[in-house]
Amino acid sequence: MSNQGSIYSGSCLCGAVRYQAIGPLRNVVACHCTQCRKTTGHYLAATNVSRDRLQLLSSKTLTWFRSSDSAERGFCAQCGANLFWRRTHEGASTVSISAGTLDGPTGLKVVEHIFVADKGDYYDLPDNVPCKAGYE
């Protein structure tokens, strides 16, 4: 976790979706699952925050896509930026934030790679960060 009580800001590429997150933020986890790779064009590097600590400042173009039975992804319908991921079941308490949409500096670090069994064949994984076959 990073910076208890710090306020982070972020946006999509065109600025139509803007948000604030009140820390702490989880350090970054890189997800290599097929859905994340298809959504981002590579893999998703994401932090997360409690849902009640994420404030949408401008969300007119924010669109939610139900990507599975248990989750949905938030993106900007204007520029296509992948912003959020959240579980849809009742009681889900966090929302993931695409780390690249945060205004820097954040002080966050990549601490884990997950679903590496699904990773693309065109890149290598780092030796210095834990890698897991799935979400364990």
> Which CATH number is associated with domain 7-118?
2.170.150.70
Q: Which two tokens stand for residue 118?
A: 């699904």
**Whole-angstrom Cα distance, residue 34 to residue 81?**
18
pTM: 0.91
**Whole-angstrom Cα distance, residue 16 to residue 82?**
13
Give the residues of the chain that fall short of pLDDT 50: none
* Phi and psi, residue 87, nearest 5°: -75, 150
Domain ranges of the chain: 7-118
pLDDT digits (tens, 9 = 90+) for 72-100: 999 999 999 999 999 898 888 999 999 99
